[in-house]
Chains A and B, each alone.
Chain A
């Protein structure tokens, strides 16, 4: 098997299959009724697939606490799963969950970014970046959680998967294959939710189920901004592109079929991703015609 095929197998195909298998086990006998969301084991499924990909792509962390920014993503996988299970059982306390999410995002961003204090970001610049990235991550996470708690069907995981995959390609063309593949792994595991949500169009994804994808993808993007570095505005556009399921909450779409809102959200996301990816790809090709890894 050639190198590229092997990387796709380890980083996308097998993680998606692992996530799907565990998803089916947990959600097989999911109940029916208004407001039912996916089983509390759903985040375990997503993280199991992601951790497999992480292990195969960049290996297990050499130590704890991790030395390297990439290694924090493995730890984050475990932390965000535990957090997601807590979210599932505290669904009624929306404000408390949002506040706790801010603390979690701030603490993780601090741990990951602190090696850059004084070297890359001097003095107040570090606080600006830490605070800005924390708030951006938290805001995006909270919006995704809100969408996942309100929208039935596959639209939320579908759009997240598209954005994670498109963002992965942007990272690939920005000199970071490992973060690109880890973003791709998130796309694969959150994509595994799509067939499940097609099968169970009556239930909500839920903030808990989406937490591993949003937590891990957010940290992949923070790592990309801080350590590659990828321009922050590109990541901001990716984050905004992932909010197109908001269209489904508009009165014009609420009265129509589920499929219309799914199609419109997916098409708008694809257009924004294309507009972002095309110049990145052109710049990459122009500067790297002879470098194929």
Chain B
């Protein structure tokens, strides 16, 4: 009996430790209603025009004790683009820009998460848009934690980063319509 305990005890301890680590990683589901994905691009080298995507979904695995074990998966319905002008929205869905019939989803999958300071993490990952995948890096700020009216644990993040649309094959209208697109993502996610 003593031998069995000696032989199995390290494994029991290891499993308990893994259990603790797993418990500290929490999965959150992005709430599309309280999440905003906005972008801005310069029109005719003059003024910034803003737009948004109305359908953003995905999951965030958050490990506060060890941020490197955290991950982010985000999917954006490219057809949900909205700029307050129906004609322009249809144009943005066309092959001139997002080509949504061929590429209905914009996707981000994190590859690395590292802590910058108490409220900020640096997320590296691959952004796939219009069939082209490019690595991007964004500093993501924790904007708050709380509870939803239904009592669910919720968490908020915000990040702003800039991409070049030409790198994703969206080259129509250059240089009149700007190449640099500044993206701001504000996420509210509920714990699963």
Which of B17-25, B93-101, B138-146 makes up part of the contact surface? B93-101
Query: Which A residues touch B173, using CB under 8 A?
Result: 3, 177, 293
Q: Is A99 an interface residue (CB 8 A)?
A: no
Note all chain A residues with C-beta closer than 8 A to B172: 57-58, 177-178
Query: Does A179 touch B at the CB level, under 8 Å?
Result: yes
**Interface of chain B: mostly helix, strand, loop or mixed:** loop
When C-beta atoms are compared, the residue in chain B nearest to A120 turns out to be B101
For A287, the chain B residues whose CB sits under 8 A away are 86-87
**Residues of chain B with a CB closer than 8 A to A177's CB:** 91, 96, 172-173
User: Which residues of A lie under 8 Å from residue B90 when comparing CB positions?
Assistant: 175
Nearest chain B CB to A181's CB is how many angstroms away?
9
Does A228 sit within 8 A of B, measured CB to CB?
A: yes
Given A67-B130, A68-B130, A293-B173, CB of A119 within 8 Å of CB of B104: yes
Q: How far is the CA of A132 from the CA of B65 in the complex (A)?
A: 59
Check B95–A288 contact: CB distance below 8 A.
Answer: no
Q: Does B33 belong to the interface (CB within 8 Å)? A: no
Q: Does A144 contact B (CB under 8 A)?
A: no
Let me know if B152 is at the binding interface, CB within 8 A: no
What 0/1 readout, one digit per residue, does chain A (173-201) give for beta carbons within 8 Å of chain B? Answer: 00111110000000000000000000000
CA separation between A71 and B102, bound complex, in Å? 13
Q: Is A93's CB within 8 Å of the partner chain B?
A: no
For the complex, what is the distance from the CA of A229 to the CA of B99, rounded to whole Å? 10
B87 to A69, Cβ gap below 8 A?
Answer: no
Q: Is the CB of B104 within 8 A of A58?
A: no
Q: Which of B172-189 contact A (CB under 8 A)?
A: 172-173, 176
Q: Which residue of B lies closest to A59 (CB)?
A: B171
Contact A69 B99 (CB under 8 A): yes
The residues of B that contact A119 with a CB separation of less than 8 Å are: 101, 104
Task: Please measure, in the bound complex, the distance between the C-alpha atom of A116 and the C-alpha atom of B102, giving whole angstroms.
Answer: 6
Q: What range describes how many residues of A lie at the interface?
A: 20 to 34
Least CB separation from B166: chain A residue: A59
- In the complex, chain A residues whose CB is within 8 Å of the CB of B176: 3, 6
B132 within 8 Å of A by Cβ?
A: yes
Q: Does B131 contact A (CB under 8 A)?
A: yes
1/0 contact string of A38-50 vs chain B (CB within 8 Å): 0000000000000
A67 contacts B169, C-beta separation under 8 Å: yes
Q: Give chain B's interface residue range (CB within 8 Å of chain A).
A: 20 to 34
Contacts of B94 in A (CB 8 A): 175-176, 227-228
Most interface-central of B87, B91, B94 (chain A CB within 10 A): B94
A194 to chain B, nearest CB (A): 29
| Shortest distance from the beta carbon of A291 to any chain B beta carbon, whole Å | 4
**Interface 1/0 per residue, B118-155 and A, CB below 8 Å:** 00000000000011100000000000000000000000
| B34 CB within 8 Å of chain A | no
Give complex CA distance A291, B95 in Å. Answer: 18
* Chain A residue nearest to B176 in the complex (CB): A3
Which single residue of chain B is at the shortest CB-CB distance from A70?
Answer: B95
Contacts of A178 in B (CB 8 A): 95-96, 172
A62, closest chain B residue (CB): B169
Interchain CA distance A106-B90 in the complex, whole Å: 29
Q: Which residues of B contact A176 (CB under 8 A)?
A: 91, 94-96
Instruction: Report how far A37 CA is from B96 CA in the complex, Å.
Output: 38
Whole-angstrom distance between the Cβ of B79 and the nearest chain A Cβ: 11
Known: A3-B173, A59-B169, A176-B91. 9 other contacts (CB 8 A): A62-B169, A68-B102, A68-B130, A119-B101, A226-B101, A284-B87, A287-B86, A288-B87, A293-B173
A-B contact pairs, 6 of them (CB 8 A): A67-B130, A120-B101, A177-B91, A178-B95, A287-B87, A293-B91
